[in-house]
Structure 1
Amino acid sequence: GLVSEVLKVYLVKHKKKWDGREVHKIVGKTPLEAAAVIVEDYALPLSKEDFLSEFSPIWCKLKAQPGAYRLIKHLRGHGVKMALASNSPRANIDIKLSYHLTLKESFAAIVASDEVKEGKPSPEIYLEAAKRLNIHPSKCLVIEDSQPGICAAKAAKMEVVAVPSIPNQPHLYTAADEVIISLLDLRLETWGLPPFEDIANFPSLIHEDGELAEKTLELPLYAKYNDDEYFKSIPAPDHNNHLSH
């Protein structure tokens, strides 16, 4: 996944090889919790704070996941209220969103881990987000990529769509109401939201045998991705040319 690709590049600087064994222990955690795991398991000669100082600039500059801009632009255009609830502290969120100003302007509320008593998997962060949106938790749909986040959302009595950040580990996401490979696979109408007016031309499953295309999870693809290239508008129906029954 994306986390693995970034850490793989980072650890090379310290002559270490990322093997992915810790990924389930860091996804969905606070930055300091995740840093402590990496520093300890790889015996890095620096503190967790120093690790974050080196790693955060790399992480913050990453492109949004394929389909993220499309999804947020669409929902914003239909007047759907959105909130961002993250296990990162507010300072980290602000830095990352500074590279994605369009996204930042679309959120009616942003809740960080240092603005609540307990982060995910506690439901508090999602309950606070719903409160700021003035929407009952049961009316909220959460899109999550981590097991702690899914647990937090379900504990808040919200519906959850999982977009796994750890591929080929389906047992980590069974608590979600739906699991999809990519945001490109999201069908909003399933959740009572306005459907997309375009068609995705970038299927997440491209192998005939149904296996996940590994290149959809590679870092270079995220870096090069441009939403507009992969979508086309759905043509309006021609009411003057229809079949009679």
Structure 2
Amino acid sequence: MAEADGILSEILKVFLVKYGKQWDGREALKIAGKTPFESAAVIVEDYELPCATEEFVSEITPMFSNQWCKIKALPGADRLIKHLRHHEVPMALASNSPKENIEAKISYHEGWKETFSVVIGGDEVRIGKPSPEIFLEAANRLKIEPPNLLVIEDSVPGVTAGKAAGMEVVAVPSLPKQTHLYTSADEVINSLLDLGPEKWGLPPFQDWIERTLPVEPWHIGGPIIKGFGRGSKLLGVPTANLSTEGYSDLLSEHPSGVYFGWAGLSARGVYKMVTSIGWNPYFDNKEKTIEPWLLHKFDENFYGEELRLVIVGYIRAEANFPSLESLIAKIHEDGDVAERALGLPLYAKHRDDPYLKMY
């Protein structure tokens, strides 16, 4: 429910310098979902560090203690937890991390500690994930039969453990473009924003409005650059591409998908906008990009002009398409959804956001 990968990377970048090594993130997939000791063993071996795993753990552990407050909730986690708490759905939190660390992490998220009636750490079971033991112990403490429980997991070992425990499992991959590793899950979703609780016998969300989900507004801007050259020519949809330089951290905080909002364009004005954020599976982008489509017909291009966006709502997850025609049809459908939604007072009020005013 919380994203600790960024904190881990920052700490390892600093720590490995001591050994003349540079953290490059290549072990991120190997250590996802493992116990702290197992993760440490991987790093010690792969980086050929001149220390024992126990020594590595004892040195690096204190560096985490004052970083827990910086761990952000996964997008949609607060929404899901509040929703289930409102409907009095019992919840357990089971992690390979030590229980003390789990409780420290969740203490920084309002209402989480009170919401989870059961919290189990990897130090409370004999074997951590991918063993099913931790989930079976959670079922025992909840007094619910395993087949009646839904596991939401972001790691491959966690998915394996949930299925071995006889539970239904929804996977939310912690690393991008790795969904092929999660095929044993009952469902793989891009983010918690895409979870449909009703599929699993849980109360449905009631916060979708006209096929859109309101999000806490966020801002991004910069000069318009030349993109891949496929918007106007191939798709018939002229996008105003933004450079991701300086915004990679911001984009990583938000799930890939289709969003909408308002666009302020240099001295021209403010326009309705729908944007794709992500890797665009049909074209298999190598980097996460943002490709806004201003819902207005312009007679000339606007390369180099300053563009500012305020993103206020979410439409759907990023998806692949069987044909170029089906992709184009979906893009125009997204545009129609955004066009209508931005006429609603809930979204229309953000047209006056001071961030958009450049004229």
TM over 0.5: yes
Q: Higher strand fraction: Structure 1 or Structure 2?
A: 2
Q: Who is 2:185 aligned against? A: 176
SS across alignment from 1:81: coil
Question: 1:113 Cα shift?
Answer: 1.1
Q: Who is 2:129 aligned against? A: 120
Q: Who is 2:165 aligned against? A: 156
Give the distance between the partners of 2:11 and 2:29, measured in 1 at CA: 18
1:113, 1:119 within 8 Å by CA — same for their partners in 2? yes
1:32, 1:49 within 8 Å by CA — same for their partners in 2? no
Report runs of 4+ in structure 1 exceeding 6 Å deviation. none
Unaligned residue ranges in structure 2 (runs of 5+): 216-254, 259-275, 291-311, 315-343, 345-359
Q: Deviations over 1:14-70 (max 9, x none)?
A: 444333321122111111221232244333776222112213532553111111111
Distance 1:161 1:44, change over 3 A: farther
1:3, 1:165 within 8 Å by CA — same for their partners in 2? no
What is the aligned counterpart of 2:31 among 26, 29, 46? Answer: 26
For 1:1-245, list aligned pairs within 5 A: 4-13=5-14, 14-15=16-17, 16-42=21-47, 43=49, 47-59=56-68, 61-199=70-208, 200-201=213-214, 204-206=256-258, 207=276, 210-211=280-281, 214=288
Give the distance between the partners of 1:160 and 1:49, measured in 2 at CA: 34
Question: 1:215 Cα shift?
Answer: 7.0
Distance 1:41 1:57, change over 3 A: farther
1:35, 1:52 within 8 Å by CA — same for their partners in 2? no
Distance 1:37 1:53, change over 3 A: farther
2:132, 2:164 within 8 Å by CA — same for their partners in 1? yes
Of structures 1 and 2, the larger Rg is shown by: 2
Give the distance between the partners of 1:83 and 1:215, measured in 2 at CA: 36
Give the distance between the partners of 1:53 and 1:215, measured in 2 at CA: 36
1:121, 1:152 within 8 Å by CA — same for their partners in 2? yes
Q: Higher helix fraction: Structure 1 or Structure 2?
A: 1
Question: 1:104 Cα shift?
Answer: 1.1
In structure 2, give the amino acid aligned to 1:20.
Answer: G
SS across alignment from 1:47: helix
SS across alignment from 2:257: coil
TM-score (norm 2): 0.55
SS across alignment from 2:184: coil
Q: Who is 1:220 aligned against? A: none
Question: 1:152 Cα shift?
Answer: 0.5
Distance 1:8 1:119, change over 3 A: closer
Unaligned residue ranges in structure 1 (runs of 5+): 217-228, 236-245
Greater RCO, CA 8 A, separation 6+: 1
Q: How many residues align?
A: 219
Distance 1:4 1:68, change over 3 A: closer
Distance 1:11 1:125, change over 3 A: closer
